[in-house]
Structure 1
């Protein structure tokens, strides 16, 4: 316990046992100024954060030492405690003074592990008590007195405004609270991870530009605690008197309500700081004034998900990823009806901005046992799923739409179809200018975006190419979606204003073409993705004049193309969004929508080229799916009468039907059902061409699918 923690750095990095907190504040290695142009996030922020992660994940205290320290702390506070486990990532104190920008975290000054300060927990409990619990109490005056008794009161503008909003008297004198909120300590050394947020519309939020699809994302790196980390929370009476027991019980309920309903720390609207209280005797408060919508999202096609490391362990659906997609689809509801400035203000009232906290909180919890992660090897996928090579010399469609996912920089990881996540969306009352917008209206805005995402879109890289598609949530009504959008604009004071092409500077649902739906009558998502991409590739190849191909998104290489140039030519996401849904029989359905873009190069021309794309897919895709549809399978033939099962090792003659993808051959013996020849080494000199007869041994004489093996080579005599 008296181990000295080093804070010095050598030439190769930090010495083992260096204190992560001091490294974060003072001793983080910085970039070399001689490098020239420096990217603050990539060259400074990320390397230092990775140093902190390495130090924190190699704790200076062994497990027995930490357990002893924790038990001493737990015995010392001797209070009413409970354990909460992080359901998602946790971060806090991002803006505390450190050597980095917005990348701080609360680390113990002596030992260096993450903990939650009691001051922050007291504020969280008070926020829940005042903003949630108080509104549901029939006797507001008595409830207000209990809140002041628990937390104390210090006259201030904040308290005056809070009392005015709840029509309660302002305390005239300062008083100390009757309950003490202790720091929350981790029950095991918490593991830090490098986290990331990507702002895809920097100029929209900062400069008032349109939220177009041509901006480069700006990554922001910071520290967070991994999900599943248990923390011990504790509250205690300040005095041992008759009233303290009731107040401590209330304080405990409010703290649990804050942890489970509001979230602890920073970025709580994006699902950070969500806790699960696993102690059965504790029943978290479910506030009626904060309505919640829950749904389960299930992957239909593979999703290229990734965190800061882009490795298998962070290939997961992160709440910030889902929230970003919901904001994008929400903007399609209102783009073209209001100006960009009003759109940004309307968005802030629901989703928040740098000055206003969001009125919608989104949490994501993985359904255990459903997420499987694989490394993407395009060639291996093509071989395994028997995807044929194009006969015209072009690349396979799968390579066309998954470009860059397995390039020289490294292969991306993907989540297999079938993964599920439980999503909860909670809303509170908000304001737009001087107008109050109810929590019910706010929730309908968020849930409508949550319906649009699995209906047309996807998550992760290449999500507009059909990857990362979710199963439909419920019966979808586009008319109802538009009525929900009108409801919010009316609540904000815009009324039923008319749509204008000149205002539609970003994708708009009002301009959306489609949806076009083409059933595949198959269940293999890789095959379906390949055929869809091949059809798109064929359309792009034959588009004339060539300059029109730019209108399908950039970057796109066009040699010798002439014609109108596209604004922001360096980058522009595809205006066509490809998606796969699942029909009632389990077969996949290709669903395509397109958003005419003012930037590609104008709405009229964009509508024309995208309309041609949808018509081409409607004509070409059904033929492609018919060509790959497997023939109906007949039930296996029974063993012919009078034929008994032959023992293993019987020598027979079979004919080669063809090679198997995983090795070996499909074969058939005269008078028997087709079987497989997978074991052993081919007999020297044997002709294994299709239709050729070879001698083999019976391995398992199954009536429906017999198995064979090559005869063992004769053993050489000893010399």
Structure 2
């Protein structure tokens, strides 16, 4: 009798396990699924390609939120991050030897930061990961764009012209970021400042956060904002307690700006000061209006 009961219990356990496996499924070929065995080291690949589906009320839905543990760097990625840091240091030395002037800074989010929230994803929200390394980073184009917007807002808003039009008529602004034909130089010019991608310094801490839409029907234009509506939580990824290494440089001599709002200022020094101001006062990434993305400067000597 005991043996029969044991067999029945084991069969029930196996059936329950099969049922659980059916409730959470992966849309991958069987041999690929067995080979991977949930051990993907590239976080970006894991988030965007290794998608689990959950069966709810007879319908399959994407498992939008997963355990925070899946976003921890593997030992291989930690070594890769160290190699990226070493390579960045060598790059700076080689650029300086080639006649470039370089300035660097280390910044850390005051609270949380989210980069690439609007990147297309089946999970509703996403995060920007380097397409090769699979780690979160801040692209040079984003850094340049946010510093540019900050300068336009702080120095050229409020006049008779539109802020950006006024900025394009300023020599210093065009020297930093470049300009089109309809500018102070009457010709298209490339900016003199070079912005580099900002990579994190180990460790990289990625965690889920939540924004809760309380009045979804109201925002859709269907009903008034009443307490009878059910909140609709949306999960998204954030970075916290992670230092990023920022680098900017100039190929030619760090000359003074001749005229305009920034007359007398050195181009690289001015840009570097505004980079720091931007990260501290303007923020970086999404949801800065509610406190995300603001950063504080860290001691660079400890890093070097």
TM-score (norm 1): 0.32
> What is the distance in 2 between the residues matched to 1:35 and 1:211?
28
For the residues of structure 1 that align with 2:88 and 2:287, how far apart are their CA atoms? 29
Residue 279 and residue 18 in structure 1: after superposition, are their counterparts in 2 closer, same or farther (change >3 A)? Answer: closer
Which aligned pairs between 1:306-705 and structure 2 lie closer than 5 A?
none
The structure 1 residue matched to 2:276, chosen from 256, 270, 283, is 256
Cα deviation, 1:583-626, whole Å, max 9, x if unaligned, reads: xxxxxxxxxxxxxxxxxxxxxxxxxxxxxxxxxxxxxxxxxxxx
Report what 1:236 is aligned to: 249
How big is the shift at 1:260? 1.0
Q: Deviations over 1:460-480 (max 9, x none)?
A: xxxxxxxxxxxxxxxxxxxxx
Change (3 A) 1:174 1:14: farther
Q: What are the superposed Cα offsets for residues 122-149 of structure 1, whole Å, 9 maximum, x if unpaired?
A: 0010011000134599xx7898221121
Give the alignment partner of residue 115 of structure 2, picking from 92, 102, 105: 92
Aligned to 1:269: 289
Asked if residue 77 in structure 1 is aligned to residue 96 in structure 2, the reply is: no
Shift of 1:242: 3.1
Higher Cα Rg, which structure: 1
Deviation at 1:258, TM superposition (A): 1.4
Alpha-carbon distance change, 181 to 200 in structure 1, aligned in 2, over 3 angstroms: same
Q: Tell me, what secondary structure is at the counterpart of 2:54?
A: coil
User: What CA distance in whole angstroms lies between the structure 2 residues aligned with 1:62 and 1:46?
Assistant: 22
Check the 8 A contact 1:17/1:60 in 2, yes or no: no
- Residue from 52, 71, 82 that aligns with 1:29: 52
- Displacement after TM superposition at 1:212 (Å): 1.8
Contact in 1 for aligned 2:64/2:235 (Cα 8 Å): yes
1:35 is displaced (CA, Å) by: 5.2
Give the secondary structure class of the aligned counterpart of 2:137: coil
Q: Which residue of 2 aligns with 1:45?
A: 64
Q: After superposition, what is the alpha-carbon deviation per residue over 1:225-260, rounded to whole angstroms, capped at 9, x for unaligned? A: 12x211111110133463499111111122212111
Which protein, 1 or 2, shows the higher relative CO under an 8 Å CA cutoff with sep ≥ 6? 2
- Equivalents in 2 of 1:12, 1:75: separation in Å? 37
Q: State which of 172, 177, 191 in structure 2 corresponds to 1:146.
A: 172
Question: Structure 2 regions of 5+ residues with no counterpart?
Answer: 1-30, 94-101, 160-165, 258-264
List structure 1 runs of 4+ shifted beyond 4 angstroms. Answer: 11-14, 62-65, 140-143, 169-172
SS state at 2:65 partner? helix
2:129 aligned residue (107, 110, 117): 107
Does the aligned pair in 1 maintain the 2:138–2:199 contact within 8 Å? yes
Alignment deviations for residues 171-199 of structure 1 (CA, whole Å, 9 cap, x no partner): 65322111011111111131111121111
**Structure-2 residue corresponding to 1:178:** 192
5, 8, 16: which is aligned to 2:39?
16
Q: Any conservation in 2 of the 1:262–1:268 contact (CA below 8 Å)?
A: yes
1:188 and 2:214 correspond: no
C-alpha separation in 1, matches of 2:168 and 2:51: 52
* 1:207 matched to 2:221: yes
Q: Report the CA distance between 1:16 and its aligned residue.
A: 2.1
Matched residue, 1:477: none
> Which is helix-richer, 1 or 2?
2
Q: Please say if residues 17 and 55 of structure 1, whose CA atoms lie closer than 8 Å, have aligned partners that are also in contact.
A: no
Q: Secondary structure at the match of 1:113?
A: coil
Q: CA RMSD in A?
A: 3.2
Q: For residues 143 and 136 of structure 1, do their structure 2 counterparts lie closer, same or farther at Cα, with a shift above 3 Å needed?
A: farther
TM-score after normalising by structure 2:
0.71
Match of 1:132 in 2: 154
8 Å Cα contact 1:26-1:99 kept in structure 2: no
State the SS of the aligned residue for 2:46: helix
Aligned pairs for 1:158-177 within 5 A: 172-177=186-191
- Structure 1: runs of 5+ lacking an equivalent: 1-7, 161-168, 281-719
**Native 8 Å contact 2:42 2:135 kept in 1:** no
Q: Deviations over 1:379-434 (max 9, x none)?
A: xxxxxxxxxxxxxxxxxxxxxxxxxxxxxxxxxxxxxxxxxxxxxxxxxxxxxxxx
Q: Report if aligned partners of 1:150, 1:251 keep a CA contact under 8 Å in 2.
A: yes
TM-aligned CA distance change 1:119 to 1:62, over 3 Å: closer
Number of residue pairs matched by the alignment: 250
> Kindly tell me: are residues 88 and 177 of structure 1, through their superposed partners in 2, closer, same or farther at Cα, counting changes over 3 Å?
same
1:261 and 1:14 map into 2 onto residues whose CA distance is 44
TM-superposed deviation, 1:107: 1.1
Alignment match, 1:224: 238
Query: How far is 1:94 from its partner?
Result: 1.6
Corresponding residue number in structure 2 for 1:327: none
Q: Distance between the aligned counterparts of 2:236 and 2:225, measured in 1?
A: 25
Deviation per CA, 1:87-116: give whole Å up to 9, x if none: 111111122233332x22111222221110
Distance 2:168 2:231 in 1: 51
Deviation at 1:64, TM superposition (A): 5.5
Describe the shift of the 1:95–1:133 C-alpha distance in structure 2 as closer, same or farther (beyond 3 A): same
